[in-house]
Amino acid sequence: MKLLKVMASAAVVLTLAASASAEKAKIVMEGSTTVLPIAQAAAEAYMDKNADVNITVRGGGSGVGISSLMDSTCDIGNSSRPIKGSEIAVALTKGVDPKANVIAMDGICVIVNPANGVSALSKKQVKQIYTGEINDWSKVGGTPGKIVVVSRDTSSGTYEAFGTLALEGAKVRPDAMLQASNQAVATTVGQTAGAIGYIGLGYVTSSVKAVTLNGVDCSKATVLNASYPYSRPLFMYTNGKPQGEIKKFIGWLLSADGQKLVETQGFVPLK
């Protein structure tokens, strides 16, 4: 009889424990494809460390992330641009108070072949090269030769960032070679004497040469203090100040461990 009682109470305790662990904390992130690699890697690493948290990551674009945050269909809205005033107004009417959390910096370096004599360009020249107004290196102070323009695939986050920061919304010339990754752009530029390309700061190696832009070199320091023209913060928007598990997650992402992960994904850590 006694044994039965012990067994019964053990069973009750076990069921309670099981139901408690089944109640996993859930975080849903959605938005920018630029932030996506960071969000995915961070979610995986965080879930490895905290088995009781379940993080779902979805892409869709910055606009999608911010509007899902307004509709409360996600907990964190990832965005590669600051929220617009109009979006804040809409959010407030829905009882959502978007708060910006900067989690990393994104810097895009303009690169050329190491053998190229040109090592400084202006923002205007880069735009002219990419929109097709300038076709020859002699126009920007180099030895005469056709400029081979290398760009990223139109769907990539880097393309989108470059389009906003460098081209101010203008179209990339149709004869630009589109490569599928930062790595592929670097390889192509490294192999092609007359090539110009752009890649995330984290991907610059000695096989290519990053040019200075308006006299500012592309480095961690200049991206961090935003003096480099093609730099921008990346955001995770939350409803009000982050609370509970979300606060822990973002806190971890901003810690030394989290920022190391940011760097391995090709972005610029905040520290």
Partner 1 sequence: MYKTKEKIYEWIFMATAFSSLIFLLGIIIVLFNEGLPIFKDVGVFQFIFGSSWYPTHIPPEYGIFPVIIGSFVVTLGAMFIAVPLGMGSALYIYEMASEKQRNILKPVVELLGGIPSIIFGFFGMVIIAPFLQSVLKIPTGLCAFTGMVVLGIMAIPVVCSIAEDALSFVPRSYREASYALGGNRWQTLIRVVIPAAGSGISTAIILGVSRVIGETMTVLMVTGGAAMIPKSIFDPVRPMTSTIAAEMGEAAMGSPHYHSLFAIGLILFLITLVFNVIAEVISRKYRIKLGLDV
Does residue 148 touch partner 1 according to CB under 8 A? yes
Does residue 9 touch partner 1 according to CB under 8 A? no
Question: Among 79, 156, 231, 239, which residue sits at the site for partner 1 (rule: CB under 8 A)?
Answer: 156
Beta bridge partners of residue 233, listed in sequence order: 105
DSSP symbol at 11 = H
For the chain, state the CA radius of gyration.
23
Instruction: Provide, rounded to whole angstroms, the least separation between the CB of residue 214 and partner 1.
Output: 25
The closest alpha carbon to 218, from 126, 120, 140, belongs to 120
Site for partner 1 in 190-249 (CB under 8 A): 191-192, 194-195
Instruction: Provide, rounded to whole angstroms, the least separation between the CB of residue 168 and partner 1.
Output: 12
Identity (one letter) of the amino acid at 54? N
- In this complex, which beta carbon is closest to partner 1, that of residue 74 or of residue 213? 74
The string of DSSP letters for 147-176 reads -EEEEE-TTSHHHHHHHHHTSTTPPPPTTS
Does residue 169 touch partner 1 according to CB under 8 A? yes
Does residue 188 touch partner 1 according to CB under 8 A? yes
Range list of β-strands (E), the chain: 25-31, 53-60, 76-79, 98-112, 120-121, 148-152, 177-179, 195-200, 209-210, 212-213, 231-239
Site string for partner 1, 53-92 (x = CB under 8 A): ------xxx--x----------------------------
Q: Which residues bind partner 1 (CB under 8 A)?
A: 33, 59-61, 64, 145-146, 148, 153-157, 159-160, 163, 169, 171, 174-180, 187-188, 191-192, 194-195
